[in-house]
A and B are shown apart, each in its own frame.
Chain A
Amino acid sequence: MRMLRNLSRRRLRTALTILGITIGIWALVVFGSMANRINDMVGKGSVYFQSGAISVWGGGGDTPKMNPLDLALEDRIKAIPDVDVVVPGVSMYLSDDNASMSMGLPPMITAQPAGLTTGRDTLILRAAAGRLLAASDEGSNVVVLGCDLARQYSKQVGDTITLRGEEFTVVGVLAQTQTQPDNSAMIPFAAEQRLYLTTLPSLVKANLTASNVVTGFQVYPKPGTSPDTITAQIKALSPELGTMTGADFDKLAGSYAAMLNSVLVGIGLISLAVGGLSVVNTMAMSIAERTREIGIKRAIGAGRIRIVREIVAESALIGCIGGTIGLALGALLVTLANEAGRSSGTILFELTAGTAISSVIFSTVLGAIAGFVPALHAARLDPVAALRYE
């Protein structure tokens, strides 16, 4: 109560200081939520690789590509001693223009031979409406949509959707996975091969037949064997092949995510530091104004520790109020942005309880720290000099 009265003595100044902290915490909450979302996607991707699968693609390099490969490679990979299962797959972007400009996960069209189950998937897909694809779908134009895609195009089971120039009937919508399948359309294998071929330049296309083309393989090693010995043998088949294991993914995604996270959190922290400095400034000014009052308190028997405690508590309160408002505004923005983004399939933020709680605790502690130096100064004042202060 008394602290609030002190704060309300200079309402505008207090409000501006609280605003400084508010902006800082707001930035931290928003960017922190963005970082959470990135970590989440990386984590889910990692779950996918926990099955021990190795991704194989054409064109080499460290990151998956969607270059054409010959389906015949499947048998050569299967011939590698420790390989258990090989699943061919075709992937392409939903359209050419969103390949480069999309943030987060790009919309994709994917296919694997229907009904082929390895029993080893760790990311289990479920249909929220309708059904998943079955072997009997081969030869018909049907599609199962990821939940974000379905929402973006407002499609339900029974609707038709045009993919790369062909009409498909929606037979199922996937439950949310928080990762790539949310933004994917899954179609029968032969249809995918046919559509994929149309996306290639005509010179490349001329040498390929649709039924023999794939963009990659998922290779499952026999249980108990190290993926690394297999990747070496796969690469030995052709220098054109690129591979990624779970460990590779973690390293790659982890380093991207870590860099992005530190940039995001860094931005938040810088704005918070500015807010913190404004608390230091406010408390220093407010203490200068209250010099005589502090002199009186000291003269009639307030100890130094007590003076420090009062001032630190007051600035912690500023931090706490600013933090709470910042969190509220941040949560509002994150929620609105996610709602808006949901329809276009890009969910950028995830505000966790941890981020929320720690941001308020952080701002409170920051306020306390910011008040500490002015508080020490006040406690060291000579009471007589303070009383005489004009």
Chain B
Amino acid sequence: MTAIANPIGHPARVMADATVATAPLLEGRNLRKTYRLGRRNTVEALRGVDVRIEPGEVVAIMGPSGSGKSTLMHILGLLHAPDRADGAAGGSDGLRPELSFGGRDVVALSDGERTKIRAREMGFVFQDFNLVPTLTALENVLLACDYADRGGRAARSAALEALEMVGLSERAGHRPAELSGGEQQRVAIARALVNRPALVLADEPTGNLDSARTGEVLGLLQRLNREHGQTFVLVTHDQEVGEACDRVIRMRDGLVRDEER
């Protein structure tokens, strides 16, 4: 439990503890999200979702387009807050949403507090636009260190190490425009991992990659999971990616349809 409260340093211990205590890393209940486009025109992207992610798991979220996968990931990644149950933004049956991360209630946190958690305890990989175009690969990775208040030599060597992990040491000084799509994606993964966060969230990390590159990225994630015990949540369309994960959460129309191991 102590390790979960401070999961940056020793993710491996988080996993070891979890097998004993079975405290989830991330747990959400009654998660809803309704987008209002106009007075009448609303889209219920999430209609009451319960999820539970154990430390050290690699979980895929799959489902048809528009089923709410990204929306769920944004809520789990504290990028969006779930709708309140008071009906103001949709929740009609009045069930209060709950969301905890590492044992903390994160539903009502301020923007600043969420930002801090994202910076220190989470890593993000998005589908296509991941990197700051004016910065080199190394500087992009260093951004994440910077936001987690890590600086100096230690941050630099951690960033170089992260680039080495994804096999891009040679490319540290290159700008995104000088990198292939797969390489850019690997820089983003290096950035997501550099702070050794407890949770890495990835929205279609292989969506723009061919199957050879997809296998490469996937192998990398699995290796990191094995070696560092980090938890991964991957949103994907790709059956191959799904099969490589410990568990698949299948969504449809804003609801979880089923889960499979």
Contacts and interface: CB of A to CB of B under 8 A. Distances in A.
A299 B147 contact: no
Contacts of A302: 115, 119, 143, 147
A296 to B, nearest CB: 6
Contacts of A158: none
A387 B192 CA distance: 16
Nearest to B147: A301
Given A297-B143, A299-B118, A304 B132 contact: no
B10 interface: no
Interface in A279-304: 292-293, 295-304
Interface stretch (B86-94, B122-130, B211-219): B122-130
Interface in A365-390: 382-384, 387
Interface in A291-340: 292-293, 295-304, 306
Interface string B64-108: 000000000010010110000000000000000000000000000
Contact of B147 (A5, A292, A300, A387): A300
B245 interface: no
Interface in A1-20: 2, 5-6, 9
B132, B144, B147 — most chain A CB neighbours (10 Å):
B132
B122 to A, nearest CB: 8
Interface string B189-223: 00110000000000000000000000000000000
Interface string B108-145: 00011001101110111010011111110001000110
B244 interface: no
A293 B133 contact: yes
B115, B130, B133, B148 — most chain A CB neighbours (10 Å):
B115
B112 to A, nearest CB: 6
Nearest to B149: A301
A303 B149 CA distance: 11
A158 B242 CA distance: 104
Interface residues of A, number: 21
Contacts of B148: 301
Interface string A180-210: 0000000000000000000000000000000
Given A383-B79, A384-B74, A297 B118 contact: no
A61 B130 CA distance: 78
Contacts of B126: 296, 299, 387
Contacts of B147: 297, 300-303, 306
B134 A384 contact: no
Interface in A58-103: none
A299 B144 CA distance: 10
Contact of A292 (B77, B123, B129): B129
B74, B134, B192 — most chain A CB neighbours (10 Å):
B134
Contacts of B122: 301
Contacts of A383: 79
A5 B139 CA distance: 13
B129 A296 contact: yes
A298 B114 CA distance: 11
A304 B144 contact: no
A299 B124 contact: yes
B5 to A, nearest CB: 19
B90 to A, nearest CB: 17
A297 B120 contact: no
A296 B131 contact: yes
A5 B132 CA distance: 12
B208 to A, nearest CB: 15
A293 B143 CA distance: 12
B74, B77, B79 — most chain A CB neighbours (10 Å):
B79
B129 A5 contact: no
A304 B111 contact: yes
Nearest to A9: B134
Given A292-B129, A384-B74, A2 B134 contact: yes
Interface string A150-188: 000000000000000000000000000000000000000
Contacts of A384: 74, 79-80
Contacts of A297: 132, 143, 147
B131 A300 contact: no
B135 A2 contact: yes
Contacts of B192: 300
B135 A301 contact: no
Nearest to A293: B132
Contacts of B143: 297, 300, 302
Interface string B36-71: 000000000000000000000000000000000000
B134 A296 contact: no
B135 A387 contact: no
B199 to A, nearest CB: 13
A301 B79 contact: no
Nearest to B191: A300
B144 A301 contact: yes
B118 A301 contact: yes
A6 B139 CA distance: 14
Interface of B: 74, 77, 79-80, 111-112, 115-116, 118-120, 122-124, 126, 129-135, 139, 143-144, 147-148, 191-192
20 contacts: A295-B129, A297-B143, A297-B147, A300-B124, A300-B191, A300-B192, A301-B119, A301-B120, A301-B147, A301-B148, A302-B115, A302-B143, A303-B112, A303-B147, A304-B111, A304-B112, A382-B80, A384-B74, A384-B79, A387-B129
Given A6-B134, A301-B147, 13 more contacts: A2-B139, A9-B134, A296-B129, A296-B130, A297-B147, A299-B77, A299-B118, A300-B123, A300-B143, A300-B144, A300-B192, A301-B122, A303-B115
